[in-house]
Amino acid sequence: MVFAESIQKKFPGFEPELTEQMEQDAMFRQIPAGTELMRPGQFIRSTMLILDGLVKVYREDGEGNEFFMYYLKPGDGCALSMTCMVGQETSNIAAKTVQDSEIIMVPLEKMDAWMNQYKSWYHFVVKTYRDRFEELLKTLDSVAFRNMDERLEFYLKRHQKMLNTHIIPITHQEIAQELNSSREVISRLLKKMAERGKVKLHRYHVEIIQL
């Protein structure tokens, strides 16, 4: 019953019948922060719906460098896992929990059946594709049309919005990895932002003052 209440709270558009089906056929998992959920080359057997916490989706090259794409927050679904499931293809992205998270894992066969059976699920999947496409466009625009200082400010604003806090728990090295830059460049740009009163710099986090 607690599981059903959590679904209804985070996914209020789902029909009661769909919620009941999820209780029967989906898997509820509590996952600690820092856990890998998806990796490149992995076959995807189920898609993720986020009940609580935060999941980071990113690309990773052969040397272990990360390129941040977007976050999944409570009420979101993972469009890329849905795409891989439908096409029976391996994943080309990675995902891991940033915070302790509660996740619903929906098996492939149920995802397909529910598309025809429940209008709310169909509309949710379509909206998930659209929302993630818009997120990817924002990321692409940031890379293609902004210089690094603008990309850094966009990156910090995005994290502030998603984490709902002005304290961003991240190091200069982690920012550099996610923006595909060097630590020296990021540190220099952050120092300039600090001098202009936009941020305060700490050892393990960045404090946003005004962006």
Give the CATH number, domain containing residue 188. 1.10.10.10
Average pLDDT, the chain: 87
Alpha-carbon distances, residue 85 vs 48, 65, 81 (angstroms)? 11, 26, 6
Residue 2 has pLDDT above 60, yes or no: no
Domain interval for residue 120: 2-143
Q: How many domains does the chain have?
A: 2
Residue 32 has pLDDT above 80, yes or no: yes
Rounded CA separation 91/88 (Å)? 9
In this structure, the answer to whether residues 97 and 113 fall within a common structural domain is: yes
Q: Determine how many CB atoms are found less than 10 A away from the CB of residue 21.
A: 19
CATH number for the domain spanning 77: value is: 2.60.120.10
In this structure, the answer to whether residues 136 and 154 fall within a common structural domain is: no
In this structure, the answer to whether residues 90 and 122 fall within a common structural domain is: yes
Q: pTM of the prediction?
A: 0.74
In this structure, the answer to whether residues 50 and 124 fall within a common structural domain is: yes
Least confident residue range of 78-87, 164-173, 187-196: 78-87
Residue where one domain finishes, among candidates 114, 143, 172: 143
In this structure, the answer to whether residues 139 and 157 fall within a common structural domain is: no
* Nearest Cα to Cα of residue 115 among 126, 104, 105: 126
In this structure, the answer to whether residues 126 and 201 fall within a common structural domain is: no
CA 203 to chain centre: 25
**pLDDT (tens digit per residue) in 180-202:** 788 899 999 999 999 999 999 99
Helix axis angle for 183-195 and 148-163, nearest 10°, is 80
| pLDDT average, residue stretch 102-121 | 90
Helix axis angle for 79-87 and 119-145, nearest 10°, is 110
Residue 49 has pLDDT above 90, yes or no: yes
| pLDDT average, residue stretch 46-55 | 92
Label residues 64-97 b or e (16+ Cβ within 10 Å = b).
Answer: eebbbbbbbbbebbbbbbbbbbeeeeebebbbbb
Per-residue confidence (pLDDT) for residue 64, from 0 to 100: 65
